[in-house]
Amino acid sequence: MNYKLLFLTISLFTSQLAAEDTNYKAVCIVPIANLFGKGIHEKYPTLNAESIKELYTFTQSPINNSDCLRIHQMLFHEIGTVVEQVGNEVRILIDNIFYDNNLWDGKQSSYWTLEEYLVPLETIDKKDLLPIQLDYKNLETFQPEEATIFTLTEPFKDQITDITYSVRTRFVILNVTAEVVTVARYNNHTNFMESVEIPKKYGVINKSLNEEEAAENVCGLLKKWAQKQEAFATLLGGCSGTAYVKPGKAELQTYQCGEQINFKAYCNSGIQAPYSGFDCPGLIMSACQIFHIPFCAKNTTTALRYLRPLDQSQDSLEIGDMIMVKGYLGIIVDLEKGLIAEARGNTFHEGTIRVTHLRNTFLGINTYKELLSKYFAKDSLTLIDKQGAGILTMPFTLLKFSSIFEPHTWNSPRHLFNWSVN
């Protein structure tokens, strides 16, 4: 008997039994749910359910594996489709954003998270009071009837549930007065959609915006978030904001999960896990989707492939346009003053999102005129650290904010992995 073949057959059969196939809509019931590209059961198969839960709560870059586990974050009230379950983890498909990293994979929107972060949609009473989900496959979802959705632009603590909800969290509007918006909010203790009052200053009521208004709103919000004594933290795979922190105050900490897995992370004292914060594309995506603007790229690679580069023959540089260096994405928020909004980490900067001058990010660039000269000459850009030293020189491109709205932008990539600027 071929015992090796028998063993492989049994192992395959056992693994198939362990993975429960399922298919149901589920609602996120926590303020922030960390989402991983691979399930922990695959990456660290020896961990028990308790340790797996710890990783989803903490989750930063492991010392013995340079990849950050978290690649996205799901927010309260967002809905996805659960398609697989292994232990206490589920694989979920979400619709408001996608990544397209490989020529052979196409669009991907699949992530792993904890089952306890979700509740089946069908079990919720009055589920029609959940906000319509944004869907990159159906851009009409980004244009709901006006004055029907209230989206947070500031963290909001609900005194009834004692939960602080992240910016970008969306609610169905029940009533509006001069100072207060009454919205429908799911309560996981009662399993009911309940009403809660939120002061208007914490968010925006949806309305239709033209391209110019959209750029002004996004850039205005980014400046509001960043130009304070405290700002939202930067976070790999992050697209959430529940607390402001002081720049440069995060400390490098180590954390052990199980017997062999050691993690390191920059942590801000007093901030409750799971940590909130933004990476480069997560910052721009969040600011856009707050205003129902269909920026649907999960990462810089996807933004590069789908958005249209600035064309010297037909375009001018405008606020909202993005500066793309491989692994970096900044957004122009003020042309006259030379300002960009960006999210750069603790290693080379202060670990919070910021609005800063071009010269503080790119070596030798003092004006947007100088940036355009490099762009048209197909020169490279050099990123600098907080001491002004060059750390990375790469080709770059300028992506048009207006191309977000162009027909068929998110249908298929405009080009393959091409770093030419025109």
Question: 149: domain CATH number?
Answer: 2.30.30.40
Query: What is the structure's pLDDT at 59?
Result: 59
| pLDDT of the residue at 345 | 85
- Does residue 42 form part of some domain? yes
Structure tokens that stand for 234 in this block: 């930067």
The confidence score (pLDDT) of residue 15 equals 43
Residues 43 and 175 occupy one common structural domain:
no
Per-residue pLDDT at 66: 56
Asked if residue 132 and residue 105 are part of one domain, the reply reads no
Domain check: are 272 and 374 in the same one? yes
Judge contact between 80 and 90, C-beta under 8 A. Answer: no
306 and 332: one domain?
Answer: yes
Task: Find the domain containing 393 and state its range.
Answer: 211-405
Choosing from 101, 123, 145, the residue where a domain stops is 123
User: What pLDDT, on the 0 to 100 scale, is given for residue 418?
Assistant: 55
Query: Does any domain span residue 422?
Result: no
**Considering 75, 101, 123, which residue would you say is the last residue of a domain?**
123
Nearest to 328 by CA among 366, 287, 383, 278: 383
Residues 274 and 384 in one domain: yes
180 backbone dihedrals φ, ψ, rounded to 5°: -130, 145
In a domain, 8, yes or no: no
Domain count, the chain: 3
Is 232 in the same domain as 344? Answer: yes
- Give the Cα separation of 262 and 159 in Å (integer): 37
Are residues 147 and 217 located together in one domain of the fold? no
117 and 63 in one domain? yes
β 380-384/353-357 pair status: unpaired
> Same structural domain for residues 218 and 86?
no
Position 338 in a domain: yes
With contact defined as beta carbons under 8 Å apart, do 201 and 192 qualify?
no
The reply to whether 286 and 363 lie within a common domain is yes
Q: Is residue 334 part of a domain?
A: yes
Q: Could you read off the pLDDT tens digit of each residue along the chain, which spans 422 residues? A: 444 444 334 343 444 444 666 899 999 999 999 999 999 999 888 889 998 998 898 755 444 445 678 899 999 999 999 999 999 999 999 999 999 988 778 899 999 999 999 999 999 999 999 999 999 999 999 999 999 999 999 999 999 999 999 999 999 999 999 999 999 999 988 899 999 999 999 999 999 999 999 999 999 999 999 977 899 999 889 999 999 999 988 888 777 777 667 777 778 776 766 789 999 999 999 999 999 999 999 999 999 999 999 999 999 999 999 999 988 999 999 999 999 999 998 878 888 999 999 999 999 999 999 999 999 999 999 999 989 999 999 999 999 999 999 999 999 998 765 544 43
For residue 349, the model assigns a pLDDT of 84
Does residue 7 belong to any structural domain of this protein?
no
Return the pLDDT at 139.
95
Phi, psi of 325 (to 5 degrees): -115, 145
pLDDT at position 356, please? 95
Give the pTM: 0.92
Which residues in 309-406 belong to E strands, given as ranges?
322-325, 328-334, 339-343, 353-357, 380-384, 390-399
Query: Could you tell me if 137 and 55 lie in one domain?
Result: no
- Sign for the CA dihedral angle at 395, 401, 403, 408 comes to positive
Does residue 139 form part of some domain? yes
Same domain, 309 and 400: yes
- Domain final position from 93, 123, 153: 123
Q: Which CATH number do you get for residue 111?
A: 2.30.30
